[in-house]
């Protein structure tokens, strides 16, 4: 759109479709499948309700995919978005009722991630009253959106992904270290919601609370590493080269995310983190493409749901990773150029387009490997 403006397309409407389908179409749907596969006993997961609920949820995503580019936030897109939330409540209830009650680390992480998912939707229900009383430009409206996004990404998605990842470790995980990681992670997720709220409310206390949350998160991932350290060697020995690369990407992205959040302890960087759009998009893509998608691809490869022996899949994974790394470098580099008043990188939009095509090409090749296998 920046290189070839198209008058018949509304770019902001297209962005709404992109973000909703990425979150609720890709991440939500594959997490749905993997949670049912790994956490619901076979006799219960084969109940017709799981299949029907999946396709109803898929229908709501397709509705959003069609409605958002045409009308943005309007009647039909809101109807399909609301439908998705109500169906996700049914999914939460089913998982809570049918999942194994083994109190394993992965089980506890999954259940708290579901609570965060429900909590995140409170932000959505506040949007209507916010618009009708104060308008879309109000702090109330913006905070409601950020509340939803924060607990979706940092609560529901990240913790559900880590629950699925821990499920791949066959040996018993150190209970003491897990408890420390678990409680620190939950506390940091609750506290760091103050960071986006601070964008709209001038209050230094919010900055201090976020700072505490960021430091607690660092402590959580120190225990995360210590918890898995005794098993890492054996775990790696069971993986093929492609799966190791994908998991490595996910873990590097995860620790990079923690590092970037630590930078918000510096007031100047905290201030520009949301003012420079390139930083915002770079951070969102770091979370969705690097951490979430990285772990998901790793789990799919490790469990032979994707065939690591397929040449088209291997090329696809490499293309996707190259596209991801290149676009991240460009986004953050352009952000730093703006921060230091250096203007635009020459050929920035052309480069973003080329490397974004690598992402799509990688996904197409991966999909072709699945179709060939079928």
Lowest mean pLDDT segment, chosen from 50-59, 62-71, 169-178:
169-178
What are 135's two structure tokens? 């308008």
Comparing C-alpha atoms, which of 123, 114, 20, 118 is closest to residue 69?
20
pLDDT digits over 122-156, tens only?
999 888 888 778 777 788 888 999 999 999 999 99
What are 52's two structure tokens? 């029907």
Q: Identify the pLDDT of residue 287.
A: 94
Q: Identify the pLDDT of residue 35.
A: 95
109, exposed or middle or buried, with CB in 10 Å at 0-12, 13-18, 19+? buried
- DSSP summary character for residue 155: I
Comparing C-alpha atoms, which of 209, 309, 208, 297 is closest to residue 253?
297
Which long-range contacts link 194-198 to residues 24+ away (Cβ below 8 Å)?
A: 195/264, 195/270, 196/143, 196/146, 196/147, 196/149, 196/150, 196/274, 197/143, 197/146, 197/147, 198/270
User: Residue 352: CB partners within 8 Å, gap ≥ 6?
Assistant: 327, 330, 331
Model's pTM, two decimal places?
A: 0.92
Q: Identify the pLDDT of residue 73.
A: 84
Q: For residue 30, report the phi and psi dihedrals to the nearest 5 degrees.
A: -75, -35
Comparing C-alpha atoms, which of 189, 122, 187, 127 is closest to residue 156?
189
- DSSP summary character for residue 112: H
CA gyration radius for the chain?
21
pLDDT digits over 307-354, tens only?
878 889 999 999 999 999 999 999 999 999 998 888 889 999 999 999
Q: Look at the alpha carbons of 79, 81, 87, 92 in this order and tell me if their dihedral is positive or negative.
A: negative
Q: Identify the pLDDT of residue 359.
A: 96
- Given a contact cutoff of 8 angstroms between Cβ atoms, the answer to whether 13 and 73 are in contact is no
């Amino acid at each position: 759109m920046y290189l070839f403006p198209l008058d018949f397309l509304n770019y902001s409407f297209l962005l709404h479709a992109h973000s909703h389908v990425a979150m609720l179409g890709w991440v939500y749907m594959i997490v749905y499948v993997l949670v049912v596969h790994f956490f619901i006993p076979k006799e219960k997961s084969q109940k017709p309700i799981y299949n029907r609920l999946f396709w109803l949820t898929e229908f709501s995503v397709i509705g959003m995919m069609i409605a958002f580019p045409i009308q943005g936030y309007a009647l039909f897109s809101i109807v399909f978005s609301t439908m998705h939330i109500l169906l996700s409540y049914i999914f939460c209830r089913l998982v809570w009722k049918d999942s194994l009650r083994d109190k394993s680390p992965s089980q506890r992480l999954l259940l708290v991630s579901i609570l965060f998912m429900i909590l995140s939707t409170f932000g959505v229900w506040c949007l209507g009253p916010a618009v009708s009383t104060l308008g879309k430009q109000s702090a109330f409206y913006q905070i409601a959106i950020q509340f939803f996004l924060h607990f979706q990404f940092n609560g529901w998605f990240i913790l559900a992904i880590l629950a699925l990842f821990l499920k791949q470790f066959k040996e018993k995980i150190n209970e003491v270290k897990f408890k420390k990681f678990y409680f620190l992670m939950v506390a940091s997720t609750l506290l760091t919601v103050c960071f986006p709220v601070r964008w709209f409310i001038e209050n230094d206390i919010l900055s201090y609370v976020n700072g505490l949350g960021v430091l607690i998160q660092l402590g959580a991932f120190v225990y995360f590493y210590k918890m898995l350290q005794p098993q890492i060697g054996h775990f790696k020995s069971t993986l093929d080269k492609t799966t190791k690369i994908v998991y490595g990407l996910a873990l590097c992205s995860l620790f990079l995310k923690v590092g970037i959040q630590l930078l918000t302890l510096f007031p100047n960087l905290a201030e520009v983190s949301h003012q420079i759009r390139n930083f915002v998009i770079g951070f969102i893509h770091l979370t969705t493409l690097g951490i979430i998608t990285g772990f998901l691809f790793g789990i799919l490869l490790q469990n032979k749901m994707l065939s690591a022996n397929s040449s088209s899949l291997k090329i696809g994974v490499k293309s996707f990773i190259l596209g991801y790394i290149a676009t991240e470098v460009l986004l953050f580099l352009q952000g730093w150029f703006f921060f230091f008043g250096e203007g635009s990188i020459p050929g920035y939009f052309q480069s973003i387009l080329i490397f974004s095509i690598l992402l799509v090409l990688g996904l197409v090749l991966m999909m072709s490997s699945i179709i060939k296998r079928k």
